[in-house]
A = this chain, B = another copy of it.
């Protein structure tokens, strides 16, 4: 019989994320599952290999909190603001192993992992010094043109955490707006934790199967976590909290300062609900957009 997949974030992280795991918290700017990262910090997971094209603030916080052994990435910065200071410091001090690719390379690695192909070919990396410092970037010869084509190896996380706007209780999920690498990261992983702004009735998801990028079939846990992505955003739910991204520059300049921030906003709360209780209402309200609905489409009923 079908197992109940709906559970708390605490239970999902506790059961599905293990010390030493390779984890992928997905999201290109959009839908980054901050609440899940904070739960991983609270549960003091250790020796994780953190993978994502754009590590963003959440990986910076996880590195600062001592969760990570290694970072696999393509661009480690605070978009539009500056650097990720904890990550940069850990790398410069040799405390964090890194493995880096290009953006296309990272997404190609996920494509390979998601489709169970050991490698993926891409026209990039040629002439760059990246292959000289990352021996996992290799080459094949095209059997039609004789050209040398760079390839990257499949990335298969032990667990991927994917945040979505809405899902049903089985884990069938609708995502819209920037869809980044969510689908590929989900299919590439052995285990999938799905966090959703809303768990909705089955018929809402079933009304638009083309929008179901993540099928329940590959999902192990479904967790309803409103505002899971803050300070990242959820298109149609809340805006990106750019102000926080700018403030983080100050917060993270001094490790002690960041440590205090973690005490207050991560260790000092039990879950995202308590985190949201601490945020001032006006800040949250300022992140509400105006409604802008898609025109529906007619799937028809043919009997």
Residues of A within 8 A of B (CB): 116-119, 121-123, 138-145, 147, 149, 151, 153-154, 165, 174, 176-177, 179, 204, 207-208, 210-211, 235-237, 239, 289-303
Contact = CB atoms under 8 A, between A and B. Distances in A.
Given A117-B121, A179-B210, A299 B295 contact: no
A297 B123 contact: no
B289 A293 contact: no
Contacts of A145: 118
A89 B153 CA distance: 46
Nearest to A138: B143
B302 A298 contact: no
A118 B140 contact: no
Nearest to A174: B297
16 contacts: A118-B142, A118-B149, A140-B140, A176-B208, A179-B210, A204-B295, A207-B292, A210-B211, A211-B294, A239-B302, A289-B300, A290-B300, A290-B303, A292-B301, A293-B296, A293-B299
A299 B235 contact: yes
Contacts of A147: 118
Contact of A291 (B151, B291, B300): B300
B119 A123 contact: no
Given A144-B154, A292-B299, 11 more contacts: A117-B122, A138-B144, A176-B208, A179-B210, A208-B295, A211-B294, A292-B300, A293-B296, A293-B297, A293-B298, A294-B296
A303 B144 CA distance: 50
A289 to B, nearest CB: 3
A294 B301 contact: no
B179 A295 contact: no
